[in-house]
Every structure is written in structure tokens, then in C-alpha cells.
Structure 1
Amino acid sequence: MAFVTTQDGVNIYYKDWGPKDAQPLVFHHGWPLSADDWDNQMLFFLGEGFRVIAFDRRGHGQSDQVSDGHDMDHYASDASAVVEHLDLHNAVHIGHSTGGGQVARYVAQYGQPQGRVAKAVLISAVPPLMLKTESNPEGTPLEVFDGLRAGTAGNRSQFFVDVASGPFYGFNREGAKVSEGTIQNWWRQGMTGSAKAHYDGVKAFSETDQTEDLKSITVPTLVMQGDDDQVVPYKNASLLQDKLLSNSTLKIYPGFPHGMHTTHADVINADLLAFIRS
């Protein structure tokens, strides 16, 4: 069991596979999952000769189920604690959904200023801002996020089944090839984590304005999203990310769902590999 302890005393669990002198790829998971969500990518890139690292966000997976710090600033600081503990350089940081927000803040505030980051990847990521506001009229209404909080605080187990079997992977679409194993694995990861972290995390991923984070990132960044993402609407996410980033490549995948790195891992992995090696 590998852990690093943050400045505020939280034990963060991480996996670190592969040659220590190989280029490191760091994977940042989405809500309410864990490092296990990247198993496919970890094994694929390990086979390509990379060093692969993934960690459980505080309150998620095997990391400490603390009461506080479930916000984007702590998420980024915790990511930095892992990176500094392993002394990673020339790293590629890859984040999905909430993990994409975590990548954006980490790269902007830690990785880039410290000269530790080579490239970044945002997959179905939440920046710049999910919530509908006066200045963000195309955002998602607050009532949607209140529903996520109600589901988490109510019957969390059934709610997680519903999310995984419905919009997350697009299994609610006509003709979708439903994978019960994928649904159960999503549920397993979610239920391993803390209800408090998941409840507070809704605010973190929906209300954090990361416009300035995106504007400050100068390393090459790959932006990837499906146009049938029912969780993070791509017109208010990847299209805006591409406009705000100064050195980005945008790839929109027709018909792909929010969890496309799982449902279409072969396509996503190939594109990730091409970008990393470019």
C-alpha cells in the first residue's frame, strides 16, 4: 500500500507502475470514482513503456475519508503532494471529468510553475464552469446539481447504479451495448468512497470557475469529448476549453458518452498515445 501524507495530514493512496526512469503519465479520476477507473489506460501505457501513476482523491477510494478539503484547491494541492513525493518531471497529466478540473488547477498553480509538466489532457472535463450563472447562461441549472446532492444523501447505492446504468456511459441510449461489469465497477468504486466527499464534491466540480486556470496553461493540451456527453455538455466544456487554452488540440467524438475512456478505450488510448508521442 503506497500513501503520501499531505500538509494537512491526509493520506492519499497512489499506484506507481513501470520503470522509474520512463516518462510519467499521471491519471486523475472523475467523481465519485477512484484510481481504478484508469486500469485500462494504466495497463495499456505500461505496455507502451511508460511509468503510470494514478491516485485516489481525498475521500475517494482508499484515501482518507476526511471531513474537509473537498474543493478544487485541495484537489490540486493533493495532486502536487503525490507528484513532489515521487519527484516527477516531464509528466503528462490526464484528467477525466472532475479530474480534468483537477488537472487544470494543478498544472496552472503547481506543475507548470515548477517546470514538472510536459503536456496535459482534458477528457470530458468540467472546466471552465458547469453552473448556469448570469455570466454563464449556457451552463447547467443549479437544480441538476441539487439533484446529484439529493441522490448522494438519500439512497446513494441505488443512485450510483442509476447513474452508471444511464447517462454516464450512454447505456440509456437506444441500441447501446450495456456492460453490467462496467456498471458494477462504477458502483464499487463509488461506494468505496465517502458520502461526505461525494456530496461536497458536487459543489467543487460544478461551481468552480476555472477560466483563469485554462488561460494560464501554456503546455500542449489535448481536449477530448464526445458530442453525446449527457453529464458535461460539450458546448459548455471542451469547445470553451479549446478557446481559452493557448496551445490546444481539440477532438470531438461523434456519439461518444461521458465515460468514453471506458466504453471506447481502444480509440481514446490510440489518440492519447499519438498526442503524448507527438
Structure 2
Amino acid sequence: MTIRDVISADGTSIVYRVSGPPDARPLVLLHGWAESLTCWGTGVVDELSTRYRVIAADLRGHGYSGAPESGYDDPENWAADIAAILDAESAIDGAVLLGWSYGGLVICDYLAEHGTSEVDGIILVSAINGIGPGKAGGTTGPAMRAAMPAVFDESPGTAVRAFAAFGDANIGSGEGKGVDAQRLFGASLSTPPRVRKALFVRTTDHDDMLRTLDVPALLMHGTADTVVDIAASEHAAALIPDVHTSYWDGAKHGLFIEDPGKFVAEVSEFIDTLA
């Protein structure tokens, strides 16, 4: 496992972690809002790394990546971050981009700006593909709506209570997920409040790009997701020409935590069908 960083177009440092065989198909993992590259858990990354060259990134403003004062409302910045990673990893050919939650929007930002010349497929997990009032691809669930605007607050008590109100929305029900819950909770609190807020201060959709997407896409979403409503994935599924859907009955937002084995199996099955 190797930690690397690259400088994006606006000078922001983007940190990412690489694991797996150097000659395997690249799989780029992009986490969600107020999270980090640690969100996936070691088990999922280790398992995927036996078959693919896994590149897990910290989005700008998150984890160890740089956190500029502005620019979070500009899709070109997000697109440039992904382009910088792909360019830095010169051996990349036929990458698969996998985005969870807000990470799905970042994938769409990249594809709208740079196209699919370096990408063989995309996987959107409980993801948004648009954002802002009236954008069907950005439909949030009741847990997310209830948490705002308190999750943007600089007061520790206010922010802690707001994030705690998510309950098991990110991990699903079942025993033995306490460590995962604390990892996600810690990453959320360590994301600067100004960044948490800035990610929501934009309005865009990628409907035109999705209608003409020329690589296969897998959309995974839980039917009981209270953070990103399943309607966001259904919206994308209705637009993408070559789409595969997996709607998990009763599952919540963090599918890779709720059932890691099923998650790895479905991701691998999709990737292995690509040319």
C-alpha cells in the first residue's frame, strides 16, 4: 500500500492511497460528503485489491487533501482533481470510477468535462448525480434533510448532535458495526465545517452527459436509504443507455458496510464484464 499526492489544476493537493497489483485494472474509489478514503474499511479494500489496482482518494477539503477557502461550487475543480490522479498514475488504462454518495457527483463532474477516454465503466453507490433545488438527481432523504443546517455549525455540540441524529443511516442495522460507525463519525467531524457547507452551495445536473454516456454503468442503492433517496439513482438509471441496477431491499446508505461480501461480489461481477 502506497500513499501519494498530486497537485490539481488550481494548486490543491489531492492525497490518495494505492494498493493491489500494478498491472491490474484500476478501480478509483471516491468517498462521500464529510468522509475520507478510510470510509471503505480495510476489509473491502483488501478484498478488492486482490483483483484490482485500487486507488482510494481523499476528495478536496477532506482527509489529508488540501482544503482551499473557495472553489467547491465549481465542477471544473472536481473534474480536475480526478484528471490529476489519472494523469499521475501513468499506467492507468481502462479505469473504473466508483463513487459513493457525493463521490458520484464528482464522477459526473469529471465525465462532463473530460469524457470517457480513460474510463471503461462507472459505479455509482447510493449516489447523487446532480445537486440543488429541483434537481432530481440530487434527491436527499429525511436523515440528511433533518441534519441540515446543524451539520454545518462550528459549535462542537451542535455538530455532534446533528451527526448523531443520522443513527445507523450509514451503516445499516446489525451487530458488530460500532467500529465502522465511529470511523465514519470521526471523519465527518474532522471535515472543516466550512467545507461541509460549501459542498452544498451549488446547483447543477448532468442529465445531458448521462443521456450520452458511452460506457456501462452500475447503480447500487438501498431501498431504505435515508441520506440519498433512491429516486436519485432511479433518475440516473432512466437516462444512462447501458445501465445495470442493483437495488438492495431494506438496505441503507453505506452498502459496503452493511454487507461487505455482497458489495465486493457485485462490484467485481460488473467490472469483470467490461471489455
**TM-score, normalising length from structure 2?**
0.87
State the one-letter code of the partner of 1:13: V
Match of 1:227 among 223, 228, 244: 223
Matched, 1:79 2:82: yes
Matched, 1:269 2:264: yes
2-structure distance, mates of 1:161, 1:89: 41
- Alignment-derived partner of residue 195 in structure 2: 197
Root-mean-square deviation over aligned CA pairs: 2.5
Which structure features the higher share of helix residues? 1
Instruction: Report % sequence identity.
Output: 27
Give ranges in structure 2 of 5+ residues lacking alignment: none
State the one-letter code of the partner of 1:188: G
SS class of match (1:100): helix
2-structure distance, mates of 1:138, 1:91: 25
1-structure distance, mates of 2:19, 2:59: 18
Listed one character per residue, the Cα deviations across residues 107-126 of structure 1 (whole Å, up to 9, x for unaligned) are 332251xx100111011111
Match of 1:109 among 97, 110, 113: 113
Listed one character per residue, the Cα deviations across residues 206-243 of structure 1 (whole Å, up to 9, x for unaligned) are x3322123223110111111111111111x21111111
Q: How many residues align?
A: 265
Give ranges in structure 1 of 5+ residues lacking alignment: none
Would the aligned equivalents of 1:108 and 1:217 in 2 still touch at CA under 8 Å?
A: no
2-structure distance, mates of 1:30, 1:118: 22
- Residue 203 to residue 41, structure 1, CA distance change in 2 (3 Å): farther
SS class of match (1:151): helix
Would the aligned equivalents of 2:61 and 2:195 in 1 still touch at CA under 8 Å?
A: yes
SS class of match (1:249): strand
2-structure distance, mates of 1:190, 1:177: 22
1:158-197 matches, cutoff 5 A = 158-163=161-166, 165-171=167-173, 176-177=174-175, 179-197=177-195
Would the aligned equivalents of 2:129 and 2:137 in 1 still touch at CA under 8 Å?
A: no
1-structure distance, mates of 2:171, 2:5: 30
SS class of match (1:237): helix
- Residue 274 to residue 3, structure 1, CA distance change in 2 (3 Å): same
